[in-house]
Amino acid sequence: MKVTYGLNNFKTISCAVATTGTFDGVHLGHRKILNQLVAKAKKVGGESVLLTFSPHPRIVLQPDVELELLSSENEKISLLEKTGIDHLIIHPFTREFSRTQSLDFVREFLVNKIGVKHLVIGYDHHFGRNREGSFDHLKEFGPIYGFEVEEIAAFDIDQVNVSSTKIRNALAEGNVELANMYLGAPYSISGRVIKGNQIGRTIGFPTANIECDFMQKLLPADGVYAGKLHVNGHTYNAMANLGSRPTIGSKQRKLEVHCIGTDIHLYESEVRFELYKFLRGIEEFANLEALKKQLEVDKKEANLVLAQ
Which is higher by pLDDT, 47 or 308?
A: 47
User: Is the pLDDT score of 94 beyond 70?
Assistant: yes
List pLDDT tens digits, range 190-213.
999 988 777 778 888 888 899 998
Say which CATH class 187-307 falls into: mainly beta
In percent, how much of the chain has pLDDT > 70? 97
Residue 194 vs residues 19, 213, 254, 266, 270: alpha-carbon distances, Å: 39, 12, 11, 9, 10
User: Is the pLDDT score of 25 beyond 90?
Assistant: yes
What per-residue confidence (pLDDT) applies to 15? 97
List pLDDT tens digits, range 95-140.
999 999 989 999 999 999 999 999 998 877 777 777 776 888 888 9
Q: What is the radius of gyration, based on Cα positions, of the chain?
A: 22
Confidence band for 154, pLDDT divided at 50, 70 and 90: low
What are the φ/ψ torsions at residue 274 (nearest 5 degrees)? Answer: -95, 130
- Residue of 69, 2, 29 whose CA lies nearest to 157: 29
Across the range 136-162, mean pLDDT stands at: 81
- Residue of 267, 272, 158 whose CA lies nearest to 207: 267
Buried b (16+ CB within 10 A) or exposed e, 215-251: ebbbebbebbbbbbbbbeeeebbbbbbbbbbebeeee
What per-residue confidence (pLDDT) applies to 265? 81
Q: Where are the domains of the chain?
A: 2-157, 187-307
In angstroms, rounded to a whole number, what is the distance separating the alpha carbons of residues 165 and 7? Answer: 29
User: Is the pLDDT score of 156 beyond 70?
Assistant: no
What per-residue confidence (pLDDT) applies to 69? 95
Across-strand partners of 230? 235, 272
What are the φ/ψ torsions at residue 184 (nearest 5 degrees)? Answer: 80, 10
Confidence band for 89, pLDDT divided at 50, 70 and 90: very high
List pLDDT tens digits, range 247-271.
877 778 899 999 998 888 888 889 9
If one counts every other C-beta atom within 10 angstroms of the C-beta of residue 281, the result is 11
Across-strand partners of 236? 229
In angstroms, rounded to a whole number, what is the distance separating the alpha carbons of residues 103 and 217? Answer: 33
CB 19 within 8 A of CB 147: no
* Mean pLDDT, all residues of the chain: 91
What per-residue confidence (pLDDT) applies to 196? 75
DSSP 105-133: IIIIIIIIII-EEEEEE-TT--BSGGG-B
* Identity of residue 122: G
Q: Which CATH architecture has domain 2-157?
A: 3-Layer(aba) Sandwich (3.40)
Q: Report residue 259 CA to chain centroid gap.
A: 23
Burial class (CB in 10 A: 0-12, 13-18, 19+), 145: middle
List pLDDT tens digits, range 278-294.
999 999 998 999 999 99
In angstroms, rounded to a whole number, what is the distance separating the alpha carbons of residues 303 and 306? Answer: 5
User: Is the pLDDT score of 158 beyond 90?
Assistant: no
Which is higher by pLDDT, 194 or 45?
A: 45
116: Cβ contacts below 8 Å, ≥ 6 apart: 16, 17, 18, 49, 110, 147
List pLDDT tens digits, range 290-304.
999 999 999 999 999
Name the helix (H) or strand (E) containing 35.
helix 28-44
If one counts every other C-beta atom within 10 angstroms of the C-beta of residue 87, the result is 20
What per-residue confidence (pLDDT) applies to 153? 74
